Structure 1
Amino acid sequence: MLNLTLTKSKHFCRRIIGQALIAGMCISSSLVTLHANAEELGYPEKEELKFGFIKLTDMAPIAIAYEKGFFEDEGLYVTIEAQANWKVLLDGVIDGRLDGAHMLAGQPIAATIGYGTKAEIITPFSMDLNGNGITVSNEIWQQMKVNIPKRPDGKPVHPIKADALKPVVEKYSASGKPFNMGMVFPVSTHNYELRYWLAAGGIHPGFYAPHKGDTSGQIDAQALLSVTPPPQMPATLEAGTIYGYCVGEPWNQQAVFKGIGVPVVTDYEIWKDNPEKVFGITKAFSEKYPNTTIRLTRALIRAAKWLDENNNANRPEAVKILSQSNYVGADYDVIANSMTGTFEYEKGDKRDVPDFNVFFRYNATYPYYSDAIWYLTQMRRWGQISEDKPDTWYKEVANKVYRPDIYMKAAQSLVDEKLMAASDFAELANEDGFRNPQTHFIDNIVYDGTKPNEYINKFSIGLKAGDKI
């Protein structure tokens, strides 16, 4: 097992070598000129860093940046530490125990607006697209199957909509049994994806009412959603505490391998190429250590490129790294089941999903304002934001949290140093931070990040303009 904490002597040697290399760059007058303000990319103000993560495959850019020496190329000497849950991770970044972390995309946004914990967290780097799934127990799957059309070979037609689950939920409700499901955190993509999928099938996932002190998210709910840490999802399902869950990999495929559940839909099918995790740091860190911030962003961009290049040719090596106990710690075959371009639904029903995990292509690493605004629309839709906000408010919050300016400085410096090609970022040359209206949702509702209130009002289930719990 790899020890991620460098020994003092080894660390010292690497640090001296790193400083010598940077000094050599100075002597040769090859310091990088930044595109935005023509300043030199200087020494990292803070060299020794500790980053946190949760045991999920989408923490891969951090692991690869470490293992491939991309952090050390930047003069950064990093310790990587798994965290018990998302709250512990967020608190660690806020109190300075961690310098940065693999975060749920909703965490920096929620912290900035003061939902749950109040803190100024930013992200200069989006870690991936897609990567989640919704799994149900074998018992629930057998009840759902009768409601799902079949292909000529007898396998279910995908994507499977929550319409197939609705009669099951109604039966449980009629018998007085609550229909319990798990998600990983109240402001997680998983919570919003599960809610989105359920609501699109006519199942109400419940409202929050923080202004009344109710943060359960179960007001008026037909399916009751509660928090379970990702690695505990399969065991909680097996125990019968929940009937299904939404989680990232490898914990959907783990249910298949253990024979305890069936993934019914991926988030790629709920919202094609949806943003998933981000790398979060405090605003104070970015302002105190601006060079360090750009350098860690550079390392993560290079890692993401490595993960996707040559049609995912590096994925088997990445899976081997992630299977180590100090990273994700699941079996190689379990991680590879989704990480290498396939996804197994019902046992034996493995299908090609080449974009199940995307780390660099489709501008995956660029922190789009419109991605942040989508999360805010879902917070408002389900009551985590209690009152109406004008469109300008959504844009202002996104501008505070998502920092494409930092990202583009890092990207341009990589191009200037010829560590990456200009073509790697060609589509970002005139980027304004808003994706074109997105159409690939399971309910066919179009999302335009420049019109958040108009978007919120399109849904049949959820709060609309003027509504309050």
Structure 2
Amino acid sequence: MLHRLSPRRLSSLGLALGLLSAPLLHAAEPEKAELKLGFIKLTDMAPLAIAYEKGYFEDEGLYVTLEAQANWKVLLDRVIDGELDGAHMLSGQPLGATIGFGTKADVVTAFTMDLNGNAITVSNDVWQAMKPQVPMADGKPVHPIKADALRPVIEQYAVAGKPFNLGMVFPVSTHNYELRYWLAAGGINPGYYAPHKGDISGQIDAQALLSVTPPPQMPATLEAGTISGYSVGEPWNQAAVFKGIGVPVVADYAIRRNMSEKVFGVSRSWAQANPETHKRLIKALIRAGKWLDADDNANRAEAVEILSRPEYVGADAKVIANSMTGTFEFEKGDKREVPDFNVFFRYHATYPYYSDAIWYLTQMRRWGQIADAKPDDWYVQTAKRVFLPEIYRQAAAELVAEGHAQASDFPPADEDGFREPLADTIDGVVYDGHQPNAYLQQFSIGLKGDRTL
């Protein structure tokens, strides 16, 4: 837990003594100035750490305690119960809660914390079995590696009567949907959920069995042989490389690129009771995201040092740096330039796009978490209920007026909340958020139309 004066605060105690000649004027005071925010020990919690360490929260008159949480369910429950004012969340969590998959509650977001940032890792044994099916060039695997190379391995497990177990971090996590997307693109059925029948295992008709493992436990669970691979955020893929126990085979930016990965979530009741506080939090987080991507990632080395501290991610700085500084190591020694592995601000990363929300909802439908067909308008209205760009725009406008940002840093005022259709996917399937049902119809594996389990 962090509850101390940040370096920025310590260096500017003159503010408390009235020595600032031109204080920043706000239209209203925050409804709540003392805040407790939650996070999971992953590198994409970075905007929270940077907003704290650089004094951006304090610039907004907010005094924040950052507290690591045990897992995603505990984090979500504590936001809903009011024990946390807000938190670093999986993009699917506010959506899943709102539609009632798992916990039923109104949770909203006005800020996307990052794009990309995940990978899929397999054990050394599985990698050696995959490798003969992987195209090679100059003695190195050709990326992106598709799940086609994994299919014969899974078939061998089935012949031997052995389950093929994979880990992901939470049923509504990006990692779950990315792992399922990658497997299905290679002709492997990752299984279905049937909550209306009381089956929330996600393993109906599965050729690969996916189950929840908390992120920091992924490497140890892989090493123990309980799972044969996993989908997780950093630094837990690079940790497998450093420990020599596994090989990341694909980064999520190659599965589907530049879509919301984590968000900053609050309960709807909290947002309604604390509109000024909420806006100020978003302002501080926008500044943090901007700092993280400034000058072609020039600040990332400093960010790595901050994140490596035990109160944040608490992993070796060398492991964190492998992805945060624009490179990524796949097979040990095969380090490649991946400047967009973690994106915190460019490509309008912090803006809460409706189309990002709709993609998550399509995946919930595809894998049975949404049991029945929904019209396109349902997807749009659900996205608008949960993702709140109007609050983001208020925060952005104040940052521009204060000189902390430029209008060109943000999406134009006339945009409709939808990114351009995305064609850069591992299977070539085009995603257009305006047409969720037409998008689902393109997949051979997955629920679509009126199909139910």
* TM bracket (short chain): over 0.9
Q: 2 CA distance for matches of 1:337 and 1:53?
A: 21
Offset, 1:23: 11
The equivalent position to 1:126 in structure 2, one of 104, 112, 133, is 112
Q: Show the counterpart of 2:48.
A: 62
Aligned to 1:4: 2
Are the counterparts in 2 of residues 125 and 407 from structure 1 also a CA contact under 8 Å? yes
Contact 1:15 1:75 in 2 (8 A): no
TM-score, normalised by the number of residues in structure 1: 0.93
1:444 and 1:205 mapped to 2: Cα distance? 19
Match of 2:61 in 1: 75
Q: Which residue of the partner structure matches residue 413 of structure 2? A: 429
Distance 1:337 1:12 in 2: 31
Correspondence 1:189-268 to 2 at 5 A: 189-268=174-253
**AA of the residue aligned to 1:361:** R
Please tell me the residue identity of whatever aligns with 2:253.
Y
Distance 1:21 1:179 in 2: 64
CA deviation profile, 1:213-264 (whole Å, cap 9, x unmatched)? 0000000000000000000000000000000000000000000000000000
- Specify which of 73, 92, 100 is matched with residue 114 of structure 1: 100
1:82 CA drift (Å): 0.3
User: Measured at CA, do residues 218 and 424 of structure 1 come closer, stay the same or move farther in structure 2, by a change above 3 Å?
Assistant: same
Match of 1:142, SS state, is helix
Instruction: Classify the secondary structure of the residue corresponding to 1:146.
Output: helix
Which SS does the other structure have where 1:127 is aligned?
A: strand
Cα distance in 2 between the residues matched to 1:19 and 1:43? 19
2:265 corresponds to 1:285:
no
Deviations 1:130-157 (A, max 9, x none): 0000000000000000001110x20000
- How big is the alpha-carbon RMSD for the aligned residues of Structure 1 and Structure 2? 1.9
Residues 186, 119 of structure 1: CA spacing in aligned structure 2 closer, same or farther, 3 A cutoff?
Answer: same
1:357 & 1:307 partners in 2: Cα distance?
Answer: 10
Q: Which runs of 5+ in 2 are unaligned?
A: none
SS in 2 for 1:163: helix
- The answer on 1:327 being equivalent to 2:309 is no
* Cα gap change, 1:417 to 1:260, in 2 (>3 Å): same
Q: Give the equivalent residue in structure 1 for 2:295.
A: 310
1:275-424 aligned at under 5 Å gives the runs: 275-424=260-409
Q: Provide the secondary structure at the position in 2 that maps to 1:343.
A: strand
The alpha-carbon deviation at position 43 of structure 1 amounts to 1.3
The equivalences for 1:130-169 within 5 A come to: 130-151=116-137, 153-169=138-154
Q: Is the Cα contact below 8 Å between 1:18 and 1:72 reproduced in 2?
A: no
Q: Indicate the percent of aligned positions where both proteins have the same amino acid.
A: 69
> Residue 88 of structure 1: which of 57, 61, 74 is its match?
74
Question: Using the alignment, how far apart are the partners of 1:420 and 1:156 within structure 2?
Answer: 42
SS at match of 2:351: coil
SS of 1:119's equivalent? Answer: coil
Query: Could you tell me which residue of structure 2 aligns to residue 50 of structure 1?
Result: 36
- Aligned 8 A contact 1:56 1:248 in 2: yes
Contact 2:71-2:214 within 8 A present in 1 as well: yes
Structure 1's 146 and 13: CA in aligned 2 closer, same or farther, altered over 3 A? closer
1:75–1:243 CA distance, 2 compared to 1 (3 A)? same
Q: Which amino acid is 1:4 matched to?
A: L
TM normalised by structure 2 equals 0.97
Shift of residue 330, structure 1, vs aligned partner: 0.5
In structure 1, runs of 5+ residues without a counterpart are 33-39
- 1:113 maps to amino acid: I
Q: Is the 8 A contact 1:92 1:98 kept in 2?
A: yes
Matching residue's letter, 1:99: D
> For the residues of structure 2 that align with 1:347 and 1:340, how far apart are their CA atoms?
17
* Closer, same or farther: CA 15–279 of 1 in aligned 2, 3 Å: farther
In the comparison of the two structures, how many residue pairs are matched?
451
1:36 corresponds to: none
- Cα contact 2:9–2:55 (8 A) shared by 1: no
Amino acid at match of 2:444: S
